[in-house]
Structure 1
Amino acid sequence: MTGRLALATVTLALAAVLAGCAAPSDDVAHAPRTLLVPPPMPSGATIAPPAPSTAPEPSCGDPTASLRPLPADSAVPTPSVDRIRERGRLVVGLDTSSNLFSFRDPATGSIVGFDVEIAREVARDLFGDPDRIEYHLLTSADRVQSLVDRSVDIVVKTMTINCERRQTIAFSTVYFEAGQRVLALKGSGIRGIGDLGGRRVCAVAGTTNLHRVQALAPDATVLSVPGWADCLVVMQQRQVDAVTSDDAILAGLAAQDPNLELVGPRLSVEPYGIGVNQADTDLVRQVNATLDRIRGDGTWQRIHNRWLAPLGPAPAPPTPRYED
């Protein structure tokens, strides 16, 4: 190859390389970029306003004391129970966001859980058939009003018995005892309520948990949501640092995400009762008769072992207390 031919060949090769390094075409220059959009908050989520300064909770003696079941041969009128039997079904208020207690079975779509089984036992004693139930889905904030306006007969929804609520509605005896704790991401450094200052914490509107975390961790920002499943969503989206609720509810959330753990000691004792309209005293006694039966015949332990296994072996059922 001559010198001139070699030089020409090198020049053409260099031009080709430079052409390959030219500015990108319009198609490449204007290709869409991937943007990271923050995930949306659940519907109804809001930052809870500071807790108002209120008078101390009213006193009612022992709020867990309820009405004694009527003897089987009692002649006392039972208008509320008669009304339900005539209708042919028991109307029960609960939700489907409390894993372990009341939730939809993903395989069947049926509403199942510990609270559901308790309600089914009430229906069994009313009708001889546990399936004679109509479920109304409620948020925690709607529980009391749904009983006052009689849109439901009973509420079986991880509902804590306290004196404030007993001013408006009646309760059965205690059917389960829980306690408020904190749920956090493993390795987060959060070990209890004392580590929530300056953090974002999720709690459900209308619960005793929300007001207690505001009192115990006043520097925390509390995100109020309609249901406990919403707390799991915002936790997984890293929109909050922790969730606070009853340990039994938090165990249901942790069972759905192995990255979460319960931390710290109990902050309270939360006795769960079945809510009833205050005027329906005969229905309260009927419900308490069912609870007495399932405590004594092993049904309560069987239901606990089936649905609340993440909490450990079934303890003895709560001892009933009566006011009459």
Structure 2
Amino acid sequence: MLIGRLVIALGAAALLALPAGAQTLDGTLKKIQETGEITLGVRESSVPFSYNDENQQPVGYAIDICLKVVDAIKAELKSDQIAVKMLAVTSATRIPLIANGTIDLECGSTTNNPDRQKQVAFTNSHFLTASRFVSKKENHIATIDDLKGRTVVSTSGTTNIKQLTEVNAQRSLGITIVPAKDHAEAFLMVETDRAAAFVMDDILLSSLVASSKDPAAYVISDDAFSKPEPYGIMLRRDDPAFKTVVDKATAGLYQSPEILAIYDKWFAKPIPPKGLTLAVPLNPVLKKAFEHPNDSGDPAAY
């Protein structure tokens, strides 16, 4: 009888020694615990959110946020031995790689919208941007209607190319739309006069112009294809336990002074590899989003 009680007591002690929630872990948290690693999807040219530095190492604003989330996951699982793997993704591959479990978090410049929420989940928004176009000043392309009959590029698999396609049809502009594999390739097409304009999120266009050979040669349109839209870090759908940890981590970060330091690091100070400064101050709308974190894909929620 005494031995039986001892066995029960030891069993209970062993359960208490396990990480919090370990007895019922499932989904992504279970996967991370069992494999001892978490995989982040990163981009190669989404400056300053997620891109490669001079050493071809992934850096950026969204990556810094994701690494804070990783710290929270380690704390949740009571393990500091979890390895962080980074896997390059593109606009076309990022959603499938989240959905099939290849990557656990996508750390980049992905727009959160209702269509995408049918395939993936998002945590609290970390940026707001509008879809505009960049062109060479010498071509005097000021408005969306000025794109009529021209060749315009956008990145494959983005909301921007969808918006461009819709506006092209609605206004009968006769635009020849060319998909590019990534933002760098798309901007190069404008730089080399193979396209008259590149439609993309305005903050990404600003970074591409700032890092170009001749920033003064380009202009970003005032005309926009969209209202300001939220960026979010993607994770798998139907995984409430993992989303709870990620949401708590991002909300805590955004409501702390630490997010202001991270923002300042990437948008107000010189960034690698060329030491360029984007000089994009924190606007009141994003400041409000930080104070009241949410994962809505509706621009009206901000």
- What is the TM-score when the length of structure 2 is the normalising length? 0.76
Tell me if structure 1 keeps the 8 A contact 2:132–2:202: yes
Amino acid at match of 2:60: G
Please report the RMSD computed on the Cα atoms of aligned residues, expressed in angstroms.
2.3
**Contact 1:171-1:276 at 8 Å conserved across structures:** yes
Partner of 1:98: 46
CA–CA distance in structure 1, aligned partners of residues 139 and 201 of structure 2: 20
* Structure 1 segment 1-324 matched on structure 2, within 5 A: 77-79=24-26, 80-106=28-54, 108-127=55-74, 132-217=83-168, 218-257=173-212, 258=215, 259-268=217-226, 269-309=228-268, 310-315=278-283, 316=287, 318=289, 319-321=292-294
Q: CA deviation at 1:187?
A: 2.7
Q: Which residue of 2 aligns with 1:19?
A: none
How many pairs were matched up?
A: 250
- Aligned in 2, Cα 1:311/1:262: closer, same or farther, shift over 3 Å? farther
Tell me the alpha carbon deviations over residues 159-179 of structure 1, each in whole angstroms, 9 at most, x when there is no partner. 111111111211212121111
Distance of 1:88 and 1:100 partners within structure 2: 29
For structure 1, the residue ranges without an aligned partner over 5 or more in a row are: 1-72
Percent identity of equivalent pairs? 24
Larger Rg: 1
- Alpha carbons of structure 1 residues 210 and 115: separation in structure 2 relative to 1, 3 Å: same
Q: Which has the higher helix share?
A: 2
TM-score by length of 1: 0.71
Paired residue type of 1:181: R
Shift of 1:75: 9.7
Evaluate the alpha carbon distance shift between residue 152 and residue 190 of structure 1 in structure 2; reply closer, same or farther with a 3 A threshold: same
Letter in 2 for 1:92: L
Does the 8 A contact of 2:40 with 2:107 survive in 1?
Answer: yes
Change (3 A) 1:232 1:292: same
- Work out the CA distance in 2 between the residues paired with 1:297 and 1:312: 20
Letter in 2 for 1:299: E
Distance in 1 of aligned mates of 2:23 and 2:156: 39
Change beyond 3 A, Cα 1:154–1:317: farther
